[in-house]
Amino acid sequence: MDDVHRKDLRLRALARVGFGAFVGLSALTLFGPVAVARHLVIVALGDSLTAGLGLPAEESFPEVLGRALRAKGYDVEVANAGVSGDTAADGLARFDWAVPDNADGAIVELGANDRLRGLDPAATEESLGEILGKLRARHVATLLAGMRAAPNMGADYQARFDAIYSDLAKQYGASLYPFFLDGVAADPKLNQKDGLHPTKEGVAVIVAKILPAVEALIGEVKR
């Protein structure tokens, strides 16, 4: 290859690089910085419904949700921070070590044990409010999963308890999923023998129903 041919090839290569840089710079000028996808960590802070009581670890809510999200192309880990028997106050007490500093998002599922024990809804609301306040202070995108009181608790208790979640979501700017057990509660085919905890099939229903809300949560994280 002669010197003239080599020089011509170098000039063409430089032209291509220069054109690419121009296109990149133009795109940046016109459209702003392009978001770069990154690995996300979502913490599911909850009680036995999150922990997966009575199920293999791989069939717990966080694990099934994580698989569903990754199947849709999200690079995400859903950490299981559920502890069986926890009330909202218990979740608050362990918040600082249960929710790591690298958490991008959180799903808060607490309150089921509060209503089973007939605890004062005001106390439950206070504990959940402190949890949401801590997450907001950390700038962690949050999805609050609601719970509902059983009718046998009485109309007054039911009204006070059920209002907790929508009120708190508005107050702290959290997203709201109105009822964590939607489509599963009171269905014997989707619950274990205790009638309280979902089976593998029940968890699948929960995940399918809550998935759009979690995808919206991920959208908040990537803003």
Co-location of 199 and 98 in the same domain: yes
For residues 48 and 128, state if they share a domain.
yes
Helices then strands (H, E): number in the chain? 9, 5
Please state, in angstroms and rounded to a whole number, the distance separating the CA atoms of residues 40 and 147.
26
Catalytic residue among 47, 86, 127, 197: 197
CA-based nearest residue to 55, from 64, 43, 66, 46: 64
Point out the catalytic residue in the list 48, 60, 104, 114. 48
pLDDT of residue 38: 85
147 and 179 share a domain? yes
206's CB contacts (< 8 A; 6+ apart) are: 61, 180, 181, 182, 183, 184, 198
Residue ranges in the chain whose pLDDT is less than 50: 1-36
101 catalytic? Reply is no
Q: Are residues 27 and 136 in the same domain?
A: no
98/28 same-domain check: no
Tell whether 74 and 26 lie within a shared domain.
no
Task: State residue 28's pLDDT score.
Answer: 36
Do residues 190 and 201 touch, judged by C-beta distance below 8 A? Answer: yes
Which of 98, 56, 93 lies closest to 79 in space, CA to CA? 98
Question: 17 with 68, same domain?
Answer: no
In three-state secondary structure terms, 153 is helix
Specify the 3-state DSSP secondary structure of 206. Answer: helix
Indicate if 137 and 204 belong to the same structural domain: yes
Q: Is 19 found in the same domain as 52?
A: no
User: What's the domain count of the chain?
Assistant: 2
Report the run of H or E that residue 46 belongs to, with start and end: strand 40-46
Catalytic residue status for 114 = no
Q: What pLDDT does residue 37 have?
A: 66
Range of the structural domain that residue 22 is part of: 1-34
Question: Is 5 a catalytic site residue?
Answer: no
User: Exposure pattern of 83-114 as b/e (b: 16+ CB <10 Å)?
Assistant: beebbbbbbbeebeebbeeebbbbbbbbbbbb
| 14, 104: one domain | no
Active-site residue among 3, 101, 156, 194?
A: 194
Judged by phi (left if over 0) then psi (alpha if -120 to 50, else beta), residue 99 lies in beta
Give the Cα separation of 140 and 37 in Å (integer): 17
Tokens of 25: 């710079």
